[in-house]
Structure 1
Amino acid sequence: MGSRLAARRLLRSNSVRLGLLLFALVTFFDTLRLQNRIARHDLVPHAFDTPRKHERVYIAALHYNDAPLLRQQWNPALLALVERLGRANVFVNVHESGSWDDTKAALAELDAELEVRGVPRSVITSNVTHQDELEANRPAQGAGLPEGWIVPSKGAKPEMRRIPFLANLRNSALRDLDDLHEKGFKFDKVLFLNDVLFTPEDALTLLDTNRGVYAAACSLDFSDPPLFYDTFALRDANGHAHLTPTWPYFRATASRNAVLAHADAVPVTSCWNGIVAMPAAPFTSPIESKRLRFRAIPDSLAQLHLEASECCLIHADNPLSADLGVYLNPRVRVGYNVMAYAATHPGPGRSWLSGWAIGRGRTVNRLLGWFTSTRFTDRRVDDRLAQWKAEEQDRDEPGRACLINEAHFLAPNGWMHL
């Protein structure tokens, strides 16, 4: 009772009231300033009204059960992007495997259209399903485990890991890059396109992130905005996972401040998030064994109930990451459905974030930054990593920031995690 009375007296104090009023006014005008900044910076640069510089781009994509997306948006957007980049300046590589909808037919339509336009490409489809992969590789009872399989817990049946499977698929989409390079066809950038709604302007803006100087530049992806989607691969400038799933996302000061500035180059340790642009050079090193490729963490480390995204590890392995930087570009927002894309693109001159989202986001982010810590989750991962290193000499995992306390496995109709 006494504490409540003291609180009431405090609130009645003129100085406290004045302080609260000033805080509210500062927050209000700061929110308006941030909204205006976002709206202003989101305007499409005038540079896109002129022919783009002649940069050669290798476009790589994977598709799985995406027929509606392909026909309604992805195919037309890709064709328009090819025209903007120049038909002679691109190579399109699309891989599909195991879809049970009309994805193969939709990709055949894309292939035919690229053929008519004379665009160099490779569109590959496969009838091998996840179930086929599991049955073909499942170890016999009593036999040793093949690479990419682990036993999740004592007494459990062997399971096929999802990340090595995905890494192999992504590497398949890079094979033509090797072949073309050896034949003398050089590319400046590799553009990875996920199964997202995007426009040519989105991709061009991303390619121009930080004036084109980066080890990697990523869009920001949404399925249910304002929550961003790819939490598995995104790490802030200090290697931490997101602090909040909504704006301004990050714990690290450098990352958070760049988001508040709505900069086109938010420094991060890792990202993927829908569309990614990377220099082609690391993928085409003259020394074949040093060519950058997607990978998973070793099975022996995954056995300790740890996992890491292949799309995070690629940045840990990229020799350019330290010097050129990895950046998230929040001005490039893509969606996994029409509603998500529309919600993050309200139109020229308007901020996609409401005043409430900005005010609440800053307050929640600030409070969580003050009163929470990553110490417990970090220690759990660090202890398992230390155990793994101690089991055998010369073990190392450069992708420490990517590790999480989960296990991901392939399932007949997708994937599961434990």
Structure 2
Amino acid sequence: MQPNTFWLQLKRKPTPLALVVGLLLGLLIGKTFPTSLLSTGGNNPIFVSRLSARKQITLPNIDQRRRVLDLLSTLSPHHTTECTRNSQPLYVQQVRDRYASLIGHKTPSESTWFSSWGFSDSQHVHNVPKKEHKYFFAINLYNSFDVIPDLFATLFRVSAILGYHNVYVSIYENGSTDQTKALLRIFDALTRSVGLRVTIRTSTRTRGAFNHRIEYLAEVRNQAFNPLHELRDSHNEYFDTIIFMNDILPCVDDLLELIWQSRRNNAGITCASDYMYHQELSTPVFYDNWVARDINGTALENAPFENVFHDPYSSERFQMHLPIQVQSCWNGVAVLDPAPFYTPPYIKFRMARLTEEECSASECSLICNDYWEAGYGRILMVPRVKLAYDKRVFDIIHPSRRNLTAIRGYVRLGGLPDNPRTDPQDRSWYGPHDRLFTPEESEEIDFVPGPSHVWCWGWDGAGDIDGPDVDPIWERMPDRSQYADSVKVKHHREMSEL
């Protein structure tokens, strides 16, 4: 039988028979060709077809698969488990008193996680505010599989304190090549099961070779804010505080302290301090110096704790872990007053206006400049809140109290409690997470107008990934940011107003 005659005869067969023949042919081909041509193993990319428009997919390795199974049965964080587990009693009492005004829930069950810190005691029920304060969490994620469990565990716990009904979480993920999208789907279902409102939007979009880096990053950050405007337009729902988070490893009291300081000082922007590991120095150093500027407009340094600030007054406060006024900062987590997003000129993330010769700074630097110009220049850095992006740095900057004492050879004399004034442990910049609060940390900041010029190291090149590519300059700031009105309270958010 000729080949053409064979296909003509096959076409005349009934459809069910044709399907059976097709399946048999598929099985024959699968047995004939080695599986190595179809798959390269658990950790390598699989290519469905050379002509397929789909991007390569990376399968999870054995450890990642085990992590996913563990996450289905527990909401425990992966790296930050010890944050508050063994806190010293005096710190626990300080936390109970300090953050009681942030409680947004009614009398909770005694079995909840935060009952161990006293947030469910009947003596604090009267602190539940009559007027609800609403919080909008915005998060950008990219290849964040390793930190998602800690982010969500912290979000669960912080939301339980603030009140689930007072919290909305918006996550925008794009371009991830690991299992970030799959993990987000799991946590999406978990958050809904406890009544926490969350919007998780994912995309395959990545920055093109000719897209301006800052324009792309601004667009990605603005995507996380879409629900903020959608809730305003569709439900007339407004929020009093925005918490914008990067892919960091936060503890519960880290976020509570930033929120507390933001509302205590009616700050336009309140940020943490973040750290990365410096290979040559073999120590963690301050990270986000491309954005952070002191109140004189000078850039901070990628340096150990003692050498981050050039301004002597700011450096002294930084080393004493006291809040500091700065011209701009972001540093992993930023708490924003949302008023400039709701009122003209409707601030949002943007790239520099290059046609107007504006320095091509980071989108986070530019939003700080815009806050100044809009009259919300009360920008604050909180050195107590130290953030890391990986487990290695997290463990160094948050050593356990016992281990720190052993390493340094300090011997406690008598049974006196820790004293942040005299205990050498608490005077170390990388001291324990449960460092006791000092009275100065609760004092309101005396804000001053902004500087006339700010140090800017621009990034103009499209596709450039090696760092800023423009000579640094002292850029003049708008006159309005130098007026006293730029630091006058316009949106009252302090706890006493609730």
Compute the TM-score of the two structures, normalised by the length of structure 1: 0.66
Alignment of 1:1-400 (within 5 A): 45-47=95-97, 50=100, 52-53=103-104, 54-71=132-149, 73-130=150-207, 133-134=208-209, 159-182=210-233, 183-209=235-261, 211-224=264-277, 225-243=283-301, 245-248=303-306, 249-263=308-322, 265-285=323-343, 287=344, 290-300=345-355, 307-319=360-372, 325-347=378-400, 350-351=425-426, 353=428
Query: What is the identity, as a one-letter code, of the residue corresponding to 1:57?
Result: Y
Q: Aligned residue pairs: how many?
A: 303
Give, in whole Å, the separation in 2 of the partners of 1:301 and 1:310. 16
Q: Answer whether contact 1:87 1:119 (CA < 8 A) is retained.
A: yes
Shift of 1:84: 1.9
Larger Rg: 2
For 2:248, the aligned partner's letter is: V
Q: Deviation per CA, 1:45-83, whole angstroms, max 9, x where unpaired?
A: 333674625421100000001112113x22222222222
Contact 2:289 2:302 in 1 (8 A): no
Paired position in structure 2 for 1:392: none
Residues 1:102 and 1:244: Cα distance change in structure 2 (over 3 Å): closer
Q: Distance in 2 between matches of 1:203 and 1:66?
A: 19
Query: For residues 316-361 of structure 1, what are the alpha-carbon distances to aligned partners after superposition, in whole Å with 9 as ceiling and x for unaligned?
Result: 1015875651111001111101121222222465337369xxxxxx
Change (3 A) 1:214 1:95: same
Equivalent-residue separation in structure 2 for 1:93 and 1:45 (angstroms): 27
After TM superposition, give the deviation of residue 228 of structure 1 in Å.
Answer: 1.1
Paired letter, 1:219: A
CA deviation vs aligned residue, 1:377-400 (integer Å, no higher than 9, x gap) = xxxxxxxxxxxxxxxxxxxxx996
Q: Counterpart amino acid of 1:93?
A: S
- In the TM superposition, residue 40 of structure 1 has moved relative to its aligned partner by 13
Secondary structure at 2:161 match in 1: helix
Maintained 8 Å contact 1:235/1:269 = yes
**Partners of 2:221 and 2:195 in 1: how far apart?**
25
Secondary structure class of the residue paired with 2:146 = helix
Deviation of residue 281 (structure 1)? 1.1
Following the alignment from structure 1 to structure 2, what is the Cα–Cα distance between the partners of residues 268 and 229?
A: 16
Q: 1:282 to 1:100 in 2, by over 3 A?
A: same
Contact 2:213/2:462 (<8 A) preserved: yes
What secondary structure sits across from 1:269 in the alignment? strand
Report the AA paired with residue 47 of structure 1.
Answer: D
Residues 80 and 298 of structure 1, relative CA distance in 2, 3 Å threshold: same
Q: Which moved more, 1:172-181 or 1:185-194?
A: 172-181
Higher relative contact order (CA 8 A, sep 6+): 1
User: How far apart, CA to CA, are the structure 2 residues paired with 1:409 and 1:336?
Assistant: 26
**Alpha-carbon distance, 1:174 to partner:** 1.0
Aligned position for 2:112: none
Residues 59, 91 of structure 1: 8 Å contact kept = yes
How far apart in 2 are the matches of 1:81 and 1:98? Answer: 28
Find the aligned partners of 1:104 and 1:77 in 2 and give their Cα distance. Answer: 19
Aligned mates of 2:232, 2:184 — CA distance in 1: 25
2: CA distance, partners of 1:42 / 1:64: 35
More helix by percentage = 1
CA spacing shift, 1:319–1:241, aligned 2, 3 Å: closer
Contact 2:139/2:170, CA 8 A, preserved across alignment: yes
What is the letter of the counterpart of residue 353 of structure 2? Answer: P
Against the structure 1 CA distance between its residues 109 and 402, is the aligned structure 2 distance closer, same or farther, given a 3 Å change threshold?
farther
Query: Displacement of 1:197 after TM fit?
Result: 0.2
Match of 1:373 in 2: none
SS in 2 for 1:308: coil
Question: What is the Cα deviation at residue 252 of structure 1?
Answer: 2.2
Per the normalisation by structure 2, the TM-score is 0.56
Unpaired stretches in structure 2, ≥5 consecutive residues: 1-87, 105-131, 278-282, 402-417, 419-424, 431-450, 470-498
In structure 1, what is the equivalent of residue 481 of structure 2? Answer: none
Seq. identity, %: 27
Aligned residue identity for 1:101: D
